[in-house]
Amino acid sequence: MQLKPLFTFLSGLARHNERPWFQERKATYDQLRAQFIEDAEYWFRELQQLDPALAGPEGRKSVFRIYRDVRFSNNKDPYKTHFSAYFTASGKDVETSGYYVQIGPNGSTLIAGGMYQPDKDQLAAIRQEIDYNADELKALLAAPDFHRYFGALGGERLKKAPASYSVDHPEIELLKHKSFVATHPMADADVLSHDDFRAYVLEVFRALVPLCQFLRHAISQ
């Protein structure tokens, strides 16, 4: 998609986050969204080749709406100031591992994946897999491409050892995780400097495949 026009539109929306401004530029938004959907469909098709479990809905159904749910938020701005999509085996279901891309100005672009806040049973299953099979997880986290794009596994962690695990467990730092995510944030200049940003997103997604598969396998047993 055309990143400069997208950043221009979203920067304006950040300054004028109100319905009249948006409605006056709805045709521009529709054109930009159509381009983003094309990219999302490309990413989804390619991800299906890398991670065959992604046999769910087509890419366009993985794209999030720009309209914010303000019912329970103190921030009443009606619109998000980024475009985003999340690819899993079941559409935008955040309760399973997947691949997330968010594109927007002011440092809001990021490429990420993994599993955010698994429920109690899922978390127990992931921790059990770590307990039994930590070497596989540590190997994929140490892979050159993973380290290049993400550095290390992120996500909220407990301050103390989780129940049922000793504080001196050899994998206690991994077991403390409550979320299992890897994030690749990007500065605006880096985003705009890419000749083929769509291909770059796919390249980063590729480095996430082993993590997503490890998590999916853990919770499906």
CA distance 131 to 127: 6
Q: How many residues does the chain have?
A: 221
Assigned architecture for domain 3-220 = 2-Layer Sandwich (3.30)
pLDDT surpassing 90 at residue 71: no
pLDDT surpassing 70 at residue 202: yes
The residue among 117, 121, 71, 74 whose CA lies nearest residue 97 is 117
**Rounded CA gap, 219 and 200, in Å?**
29
- Is beta strand 98-103 parallel, antiparallel or unpaired with respect to 180-186? unpaired
What pLDDT does 73 receive? Answer: 83
| pLDDT band at 184; cut points 50, 70, 90 | very high
Q: Supply the pLDDT for residue 140.
A: 97
In angstroms, what CA-CA distances link 157 with 3, 139, 219?
35, 20, 19
Residue 58 pLDDT exceeds 80: no
Residue 91 has pLDDT above 60, yes or no: no
Taking 3-state DSSP, the helix, strand and coil percentages for the chain, each rounded to the nearest 5, stand at 50, 15, 35
User: Of 115-119, 179-183, 207-211, which range is least confident?
Assistant: 115-119
Reduced to 3 states (helix: H, G, I; strand: E, B; else coil), residue 134 is: helix
Whether 17 and 205 have beta carbons less than 8 Å apart is answered as no
205, 116 contact by CB (below 8 A): no
**pLDDT on residue 190:** 97
For the chain, the first-to-last Cα distance in angstroms comes to 39
Domain ranges in the chain?
3-220
Predicted pLDDT of residue 122: 94
Kindly indicate the confidence band of residue 70, based on its pLDDT and cuts at 50, 70 and 90.
Answer: confident
Q: What is this structure's pTM?
A: 0.94
The pLDDT value recorded for residue 83 is 98
Q: What confidence tens digit (pLDDT) does each residue in 5-46 have? A: 999 999 999 999 999 999 999 999 999 999 999 999 999 999
Taking 90 as the threshold, does the pLDDT of residue 130 lie above it?
A: yes
pLDDT, average across residues 179-197: 97
